[in-house]
Amino acid sequence: MSAYNASRSMTMTNSAPWMRNRNSVRHNSKLSLGPVSHIIFTTAVVLLIGLMFVSQSSKVTDYDLEVAKVNSEITELEAQRDALAVENAKITAAASDADSNSVASTMVDANSAAFVER
């Protein structure tokens, strides 16, 4: 622990290490782009980016259309489900009514009653 601290302290006070890695020679490229090449290159980059944008946009739109199609199918299936639920409810209600009639038939009828004058 103490050795590490000593080393770090030395680095901080000595400027030699960073000077050792400094570039001392600069190489100039012998090839250079002219103005026409610059324009072509820039245009190509812009077109590429534009193409990517259009590509992504159309992909999003494709998904939107797909979603709309699926939503439409969901709507149709829900409509069918609702229609069936209504039919089921009507049939169940009719069956329940028929059941109640059979139960009622076993019950004692209300007879005519005797009343006091009032």
Partner 1 sequence: MVGKRYRFVYFLLSLVFVVFGARLFYVQLVKHDEYVSAANSVRVKQYELLAKRGEIYMKSGENEVVPAVLNERTWTIFVDPSYVINRDKAQAKLTEILGDKLIVSWDDVWKDLTNMYVEVAKGVDYDTVAAVKKANIQGVGQKETSKRVYPRGEMAAQVLGFVNAEGVGSGLEGAQNDRLSGKNGLLKTVTDVNEIPLSLGDENVEIPAQDGETLVLTLDENVQRESEKALKRIYDTYEGKIKNASVVIMNPQNGQIYSMATYPSFNPEYYYKVTDGNVFRNIPADSPYEPASICKTFTYATAINEGVISPEDTYVNTGHTDVDDITIQNALGSMAHLGTITFQTALDYSLNTGTVEVVRRLSSDGTISYQARSTIYDYLTNHYSLGKNTGSGLYEADGVIISPDDAEGNAVRYSNMSFGQGMNITMIQVLAGFSSVVNGGTYYKPTIIAGTMQNGQYVPDELKGADHQAVSAETSATMRRMLQEVRSYNGGDNDPAGYIIGAKTGTGETLNEDGTYTSDKTIVGIAGFGMSSKEGSLPEYTILVRLDGETFLWGYEAADVFTQLSNYMIEYLRIAPGA
CB of 104 to partner 1, least distance (A): 7
- Cβ atoms of 11 and 17 closer than 8 Å: yes
Binding site for partner 1 (CB under 8 A): 57, 60-61, 63-65, 68, 75-76, 78-80, 82-83, 85-86, 89-90, 92-93, 96-97, 100, 104, 107-118
Q: Which of helix, strand or coil describes residue 89?
A: helix
Q: How far is the CB of 55 from partner 1 (least distance, A)?
A: 14
31 vs 114, which CB is nearer to partner 1?
114
Q: Are 26 and 18 within 8 A, CB to CB?
A: no
Instruction: Report how far residue 55's alpha carbon sits from residue 43's, in angstroms, rounded to the nearest whole number.
Output: 18
Whole-number minimum distance, CB 74 to partner 1, in Å? 12
Cα–Cα separations (whole angstroms), residue 52 to 20, 48, 56: 45, 6, 6
Q: Which CB sits closer to partner 1, 36 or 114?
A: 114
Shortest distance, CB of residue 83 to partner 1, whole angstroms?
A: 5
Distance CA 72, CA 39 (A): 48
Which residue lies nearer to partner 1 by CB, 11 or 62? Answer: 62
